[in-house]
């Protein structure tokens, strides 16, 4: 059982109780700001690329951030285990702010892409270090509530981020999307620092592991592979050589970053990166296609189609809240969540039939959102619970790498299927359903039946 630094396993009434309030608010604020930037930049990018004359680097602006985050996740995981999570959080915040400023003041698209790369380094360090911080500060019984807060922190930016970014880009200057966030990140980090000031979190637990340099090389190659897959898939037939090169490179590099046995779904902890990668890849691939489908096939405006995704975000928050109450077992949350994602995406596909009411799409996304909201934080909780002391960062890094890379591949494959079948939305969405079904089948290999709200008896043993 993960304990607090003070050694107590007794959980206080709330994550907002006096001894945890400052750190909880700081954690949520940082997560919200990283999430807001991620959601807002997608809305602003067409304006940015046009203003800077860099449409030829449009996709690279996204790939650069992803590539950097994979590298930073591997580095941050081991750094957090060896030196504690505060150093990587501080460096991650500094890098994130530097990237925001670089992007905000960019005179051309090349500098903007460089800023996005630095942002990715900072965000990757922050994400994995915050997970380790949760393991070190909060007792295990509180982890579901903390990760439910994290999920909620992503929901608000999902709802308001695109609207705010669009308003700023159209009525002010897109640069303030980056510069404005940079002004808020530092106070949030200081609040987090205040909450951890009295806790002995800086000393490392594990000895420096040999082979970290090799890990970073494999992380860099994995990042390059993911970028090639994402960029190549966007170029359609012309990008096929890049796509194939990315797949080959990924097949060589990715196993070096995941846990031993992950790609064969060995029982217990090794299954986590694949399980969550499949689920998040399924959900994201569907979200990429759904607005386009609703606009082109059912003649909805982009704003109306965006509301459908907002319903999914609200479902995500609700699912996390329900799981955080401790009334649902871990296996039910994971397996049931995967099933709900599959059912929801399949229901959305029915809207391709003109006689099916548009309301079905709203219901469908609510179901999928509930599913991923219950599943996503549960996997995070169990990874920390199943990790030996001093290995939380390493295992969380593997989880993050699996989620990121599987998502890139899922979006690329679903997009390729969509294009190859003359823009058949049903085929693309069917692929997303298959991924969710695979996650449903893998769930028992990761977690056994347990009492609702408990940690005991949940984990398989890694082979």
Higher per-residue confidence, 142 vs 368 = 368
CA distance 61 to 117: 8
- Name the one residue in this structure whose structure tokens are 């085929």: 427
Do 327 and 306 sit in the same domain of this protein?
Answer: yes
Assess whether 276 and 187 both reside in one domain: no
Domain that includes residue 353, residue range: 261-463
- The answer to whether residue 263 scores a pLDDT higher than 70 is yes
What is the CATH number for 452? 1.20.1250.20
- Decide if 249 is inside a domain: yes
Report the pLDDT value the prediction gives residue 49, as an integer from 0 to 100. Answer: 84
Q: What local confidence, expressed as pLDDT, does residue 77 receive?
A: 86
Indicate whether 394 and 270 sit together in one domain.
yes
Q: Helix 392-420 to helix 109-137 angle, to the nearest 10 degrees?
A: 130
CA angle 91, 92, 98 (to 5 degrees): 90
| pLDDT of 416 higher than 60 | yes
Query: pLDDT higher for 196 or 271?
Result: 271
Q: What is the pLDDT of residue 209?
A: 53
Answer whether residue 7 is part of any domain. no
More confident residue, 457 or 131: 131
Domain end, chosen from 208, 243, 277, is at 208
pLDDT of residue 210: 53
What's residue 453's pLDDT?
38
Question: Does residue 2 lie in a domain region?
Answer: no
91-109 confidence digits (pLDDT tens) = 998 999 999 999 999 999 9
Maximum average pLDDT range among 87-101, 219-233, 334-348: 334-348
User: Dihedral sign, CA of 334, 339, 342, 343?
Assistant: negative
Number of domains in the chain: 3
Rounded Cα distance between 340 and 418, Å, is 23
62-76: average pLDDT = 83
| Better pLDDT: 166 or 329 | 329
| Residue 379 confidence (pLDDT) above 90 | yes
Does residue 395 share a domain with residue 339? Answer: yes
Nearest to 190 by CA among 23, 15, 34: 23
Residue 148 pLDDT greater than 90, yes or no? no
323 plus 339 within the same structural domain: yes
State the pLDDT at residue 459: 46
Candidate from 168-182, 195-209, 248-262 with smallest mean pLDDT = 195-209
pLDDT above 70 (res 257): yes
Let me know if residue 384 belongs to a domain: yes
Q: Which token pair is 366? A: 């609510």
Average pLDDT over the chain reads: 82
The pair of structure tokens assigned to 430 is: 């069917």
Return all residues near 326 (Cβ < 8 A) that are at least 6 apart.
144, 452, 453
On the question of pLDDT at 201 being above 70, the answer is no
- CA 343 to CA 286: how far, in whole Å? 12
Predicted local distance difference test score (pLDDT) of residue 207: 52
Task: Report percent pLDDT > 90 for the chain.
Answer: 28
Mark whether 222 and 295 lie in a shared domain. Answer: no
Looking at the structure, do residues 171 and 221 belong to the same domain, yes or no?
Answer: no
C-alpha 263/C-alpha 368 separation (Å) is 25
| Among 176, 208, 240, residue at a domain's last position | 208
pLDDT reading at 405 higher than 60: yes
**Shared domain check, 279 and 151:** no
- The number of angstroms, rounded, from the C-alpha of 296 to the middle of its chain's C-alpha atoms is 28
Closest CA to 72 of 136, 127, 2: 127
Mean per-residue pLDDT for 151-155?
77
pLDDT, greater one: 204 or 52:
52
Do 218 and 192 lie in one domain? The reply is: no
**pLDDT one-digit tens code per residue, 32-45:** 888 887 777 766 77
Overall average pLDDT of the 418-441 stretch:
91
**Residue 360 clears pLDDT 60, i.e. is over it:** yes
pLDDT in tens, 299-343: 887 667 777 877 888 888 889 888 887 788 889 999 999 999 999
CA-to-CA separations, 302 to 43, 228, 291, 293, 307, in angstroms, rounded: 11, 29, 7, 10, 9
Local confidence band at 427 (pLDDT 50, 70, 90 cut-offs): very high
Task: Give the pLDDT band (50/70/90) at residue 224.
Answer: confident
Q: Say if residues 151 and 385 touch (Cβ distance below 8 Å).
A: no
**Whole-number percent of the chain with pLDDT over 70:** 87
- At residue 364, the pLDDT reads 96
Q: Indicate the pLDDT class of residue 1, thresholds 50, 70 and 90.
A: very low
Range ranked top by mean pLDDT from 75-84, 166-175, 355-364: 355-364
pLDDT at 452: 38
Residues 83 and 218 in one domain: no
Q: Are both 178 and 300 inside the same structural domain? A: no
- The token pair that represents 338 in the structure block: 């995967």
Last residue of a domain, one of 257, 283, 318: 257
Classify residue 11: in a domain, yes or no: no
Q: What mean pLDDT do residues 268-294 have?
A: 90
What pLDDT score was predicted for residue 3?
40
For residue 214, the model assigns a pLDDT of 82
d(CA 68, CA 449): 37
Query: Taking 90 as the threshold, does the pLDDT of residue 344 lie above it?
Result: yes
Q: Which residue has the higher pLDDT, 278 or 177?
A: 278
84 and 138 belong to one structural domain:
yes
């Amino acid at each position: 059982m993960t304990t607090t630094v003070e050694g107590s396993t007794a959980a206080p009434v709330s994550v907002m109780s006096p001894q945890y309030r400052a750190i909880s608010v700081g954690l949520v604020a940082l997560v919200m700001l990283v999430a807001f930037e991620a959601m807002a930049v997608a809305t602003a990018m067409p304006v940015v690329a046009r203003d800077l004359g860099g449409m030829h680097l449009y996709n690279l602006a996204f790939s650069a951030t992803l590539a950097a985050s994979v590298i930073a996740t591997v580095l941050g995981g081991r750094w957090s285990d060896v030196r504690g999570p505060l150093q990587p959080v501080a460096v991650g915040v500094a890098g994130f702010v530097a990237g925001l400023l670089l992007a905000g003041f960019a005179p051309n698209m090349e500098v903007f892409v460089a800023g996005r790369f630095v942002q990715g380094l900072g965000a990757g360090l922050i994400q994995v270090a915050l997970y380790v911080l949760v393991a070190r500060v909060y007792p295990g019984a509180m982890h579901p509530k903390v990760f439910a807060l994290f999920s909620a922190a992503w929901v608000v930016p999902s709802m308001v981020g695109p609207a705010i970014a669009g308003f700023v880009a159209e009525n002010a200057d897109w640069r303030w999307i980056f510069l404005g966030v940079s002004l808020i990140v530092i106070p949030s980090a200081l609040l987090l620092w205040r909450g951890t000031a009295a806790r002995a979190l800086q000393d490392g637990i594990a000895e420096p592991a040999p082979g970290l340099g090799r890990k970073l090389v494999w992380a860099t190659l994995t990042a390059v592979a993911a970028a090639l897959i994402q960029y190549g898939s966007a170029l359609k037939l012309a990008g096929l050589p890049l796509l194939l090169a990315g797949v080959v490179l990924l097949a060589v590099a990715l196993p070096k970053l995941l846990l031993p046995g992950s790609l064969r779904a060995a029982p217990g902890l090794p299954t986590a990166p694949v399980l969550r990668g499949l689920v998040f890849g399924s959900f994201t691939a569907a979200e990429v296609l759904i607005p386009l489908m609703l606009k082109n096939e059912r003649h909805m405006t982009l704003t109306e189609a965006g509301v459908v995704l907002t319903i999914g975000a609200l479902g995500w928050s609700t699912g996390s809240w329900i799981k955080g109450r401790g009334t649902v077992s871990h296996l039910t949350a994971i397996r049931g969540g995967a099933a709900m994602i599959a059912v929801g995406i399949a229901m959305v596909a029915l809207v391709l039939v003109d006689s099916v009411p548009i309301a079905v799409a709203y219901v469908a996304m609510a179901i999928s959102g509930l599913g991923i909201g219950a599943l996503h934080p549960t996997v995070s909780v169990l990874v920390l619970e199943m990790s030996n002391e001093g290995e939380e960062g390493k295992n969380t890094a593997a989880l993050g790498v699996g989620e990121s890379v599987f998502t890139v591949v899922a979006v690329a494959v679903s997009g390729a299927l969509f294009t190859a079948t003359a823009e058949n939305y049903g085929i693309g969405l069917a692929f997303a359903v298959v991924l969710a079904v695979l996650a449903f089948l893998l769930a028992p290999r990761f977690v056994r039946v347990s009492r609702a709200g408990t940690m005991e008896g949940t984990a398989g043993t890694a082979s």
